Amino acid sequence: MAEVGSLLLTMLEVLAALFIFALGLAAASVLVMYIVDRSQTQSTIRRNYPVVGRARYFFEHLGEFFRQYFFAMDREEMPFNRAQRSWAYRAAKNVDNTVAFGSTRDLRPEGTVMFVNCAFPTLDEDAVPPSPVKYGPYCETPYTTASFFNISGMSFGAISTPAVCALSRGAQASGIWMNTGEGGLSPYHLEGGCDVVFQIGTAKYGVRDANGQLDDDRLREIAAHENVRMFELKLSQGAKPGKGGILPGAKVTEEIAGIRGIPVGEDSISPNRHPEIDSVEDLLDMIAHVRRVTGKPTGFKAVIGAYGWLENLFAEINRRGIESAPDFIVVDSGDGGTGAAPMPLMDDVGLPIKESLPLVSDLLIRHRLDDRIRLGCSGKRINPTEVAWALCIGADFVVSARGFMFALGCIQALQCNRNTCPTGITTHNRKLQHGLDPADKSVRVANYARNMVKEVGVIAHSCGVPEPRLLRRYHARVVCKDGFTQALDDLYPLPEPTIVATGT
């Protein structure tokens, strides 16, 4: 009996020892994972949330199997569904972006775009790179680039230092440009050596005097940077047309104050319009002024709602002479993104790009200005289909903000306005920024841009043209009310150039 008792005791001791060993092993594994996660640079989530962040991949993996029963389908989420985001993530990681078995895209809803493949597609050896485009032919320092997919404005302050660094380096590596957004030019924009478009917002951050007026000396200083290739006046953006912004004093650090040209620690209010631009004449005067002072191409960005003013603008350009024209116009979609905006403006004001881009493109053709003014657009162009559609309609280039945020690792947590962005992109929290390694993410930014160009090229070749810029309206069709498709050139017939230039 005593022997059985001692045997049981020994077994219990062994089990206890094993348990303690297993516990120690688990603790050691957690420690190793913690160190590995903290020190690696590829995954922001694992760097910011060591060990627990790994669960995301596990659940994401399980989600592939269970989502269809319990959660959203691949093409249901907003603003970007999983299929769209997956393409962006995979393009950024430069991993295989093919899909298996068949399309999960529902091709029946009205507005669905599809391209018309050619019976005799372009042979690989006949494909050519995108052709270069010249901006600002009449200014002192025109800008020529072949890039048709670039980074849209996101201000330093709305996005973090490491995010700006990664975008700048990635843009340089892939030969695309980066727009500063309205927060001024920081050393981080210049760090990578990419081409930069400087945006002049309504508060003139970075180029203002103490009273918030445009300061020509500051403008000249910015233009003196060789990398700053063009200037863009922001009239409005899709997420908040007609709304200025407030940068709370708490966010106005010494660095941000220095870059923006505002006092440290004080609330900074940007007007909801450029106070000195009250008409198309004022707009052209301002464009002429910025172009004269900087010597560089100057254009503007706007979301289109009412559009009679564009008719007036183009007529006035033809009256003054085509040199007076903006060198480019960027049309932003009514459903554009931002760090923070009131819901009614974000949801319900401004035309969506599918309506405004053809409208502006047609007006340019009618006024014979389509060769003079380069047309760009933004708004949910994060996959090749959407970019190719814009080129078919008549865009010379596309810019994307949120596409590049996905390349930086954004997981669409929708907390950009709360300083709690888990991926370090839209937060001032240093701990969260720590996870975003600019060196690693710059590679993803470059991969994303390159793969976008490559796959828009694939669509172009399938349609029988050797490069993306040769895509035309007749290369795409759209599903209409009756469920059948209609060619884009039937839906938006190219107008006759009717309005004859009257200027010199």
Ligand X SMILES: Cc1cc2nc3c(=O)[nH]c(=O)nc-3n(C[C@H](O)[C@H](O)[C@H](O)COP(=O)(O)O)c2cc1C
Alpha-helix residue ranges (DSSP H) falling in 40-143: 44-48, 54-70, 82-93
By CB under 6 A, name the one of 298, 378, 451, 485 that touches ligand X: 378
The nearer residue to ligand X, 50 or 384, going by C-beta atoms, is 384
Judged by CB under 6 A, does residue 45 bind ligand SF4? Answer: no
Judged by CB under 6 A, does residue 189 bind ligand X? Answer: no
- Number of C-alpha atoms within 13 angstroms, CB side, residue 146? 13
131-139, 361-369, 415-423, 441-449 -> range binding ligand SF4 (CB under 6 A): 415-423
By CB under 6 A, name the one of 399, 421, 445, 460 that touches ligand SF4: 421
Kindly state the smallest distance separating residue 380's Cβ from ligand X, in Å. 4
3-class secondary structure, 200: strand
Kindly state the smallest distance separating residue 274's Cβ from ligand X, in Å. 13
User: What's 247's DSSP letter?
Assistant: E
**Sign of the CA dihedral running 205, 408, 86, 400:** positive
Judged by CB under 6 A, does residue 429 bind ligand SF4? Answer: no
By CB under 6 A, name the one of 18, 22, 52, 413 that touches ligand SF4: 413
Per-residue binding letters, 92-131, with ligand X (x by CB under 6 A): ----------------------------------------
140-148, 272-280, 407-415, 441-449 -> range binding ligand SF4 (CB under 6 A): 407-415
Alpha-helix residue ranges (DSSP H) falling in 410-475: 430-434, 438-462
The nearer residue to ligand SF4, 222 or 421, going by C-beta atoms, is 421
Beta bridge partners of 231: 198, 298
Q: Which does 380 bind (CB under 5 to 8 A by kind): ligand SF4, ligand X, none?
A: ligand X
Token pair 């930014």 in the structure block, residue: 445
Q: Is 78 exposed, middle or buried (0-12, 13-18, 19+ CB in 10 A)?
A: exposed
Q: Cβ contacts of residue 350 below 8 Å, gap of 6+?
A: 236, 238, 241, 303, 304, 305, 332, 333, 334, 335, 336, 356
Residue 262 has which token pair?
């505002």
Measured CA to CA in angstroms, residue 180 lies from 4, 203, 227, 277, 376 at distances of 79, 14, 12, 21, 16
Beta bridge partners of 473: none
By CB under 6 A, name the one of 206, 261, 358, 403 that touches ligand X: 403
Q: Which does 238 bind (CB under 5 to 8 A by kind): ligand X, ligand SF4, none?
A: ligand X
Alpha-helix residue ranges (DSSP H) falling in 232-298: 254-260, 280-294
Alpha-helix residue ranges (DSSP H) falling in 72-153: 82-93
28-36, 115-123, 312-320, 411-419 -> range binding ligand SF4 (CB under 6 A): 411-419
Continuous segment of H or E residues that includes residue 13 = helix 2-39
Judged by CB under 6 A, does residue 186 bind ligand X? Answer: no
The nearer residue to ligand SF4, 379 or 422, going by C-beta atoms, is 422
In whole angstroms, give the CA distance from residue 233 to residue 271.
14
By CB under 6 A, name the one of 415, 419, 486, 502 that touches ligand SF4: 415
Judged by CB under 6 A, does residue 383 bind ligand SF4? Answer: no
In whole angstroms, give the CA distance from residue 254 to residue 262.
9
In whole angstroms, give the CA distance from residue 429 to residue 124.
48
The nearer residue to ligand X, 338 or 356, going by C-beta atoms, is 338
Cis peptide before 79 (omega within 30 of 0): yes
Kindly state the smallest distance separating residue 413's Cβ from ligand SF4, in Å. 3
Q: Which does 53 bind (CB under 5 to 8 A by kind): ligand X, ligand SF4, none?
A: none
Torsion of CA 415, 419, 422, 425, to 10 degrees: 100
Name the residue among 89, 82, 44 with its Cα closest to residue 403. Answer: 89
User: What's 49's DSSP letter?
Assistant: S
> What is the distance of C-alpha 307 from the center of its chain?
25
Q: Which does 415 bind (CB under 5 to 8 A by kind): ligand X, ligand SF4, none?
A: ligand SF4
Judged by CB under 6 A, does residue 405 bind ligand SF4? Answer: yes
Q: Which does 182 bind (CB under 5 to 8 A by kind): ligand SF4, ligand X, none?
A: ligand X
Kindly state the smallest distance separating residue 462's Cβ from ligand X, in Å. 24
Number of residues that bind ligand SF4 (CB under 6 A): 13
The nearer residue to ligand SF4, 79 or 249, going by C-beta atoms, is 79
Continuous segment of H or E residues that includes residue 361 = helix 353-366
Per-residue binding letters, 305-344, with ligand X (x by CB under 6 A): ---------------------------x---xxxx-----
Judged by CB under 6 A, does residue 161 bind ligand X? Answer: no
Contact 184, 254 (CB under 8 A): no
173-181, 227-235, 311-319, 420-428 -> range binding ligand SF4 (CB under 6 A): 420-428
Contact residues toward ligand X (CB under 6 A) are 152-155, 158-159, 181-182, 199, 234, 237-238, 301, 332, 336-339, 378-381, 400-403, 416, 426
Contact residues toward ligand SF4 (CB under 6 A) are 405, 410-416, 421-423, 425-426
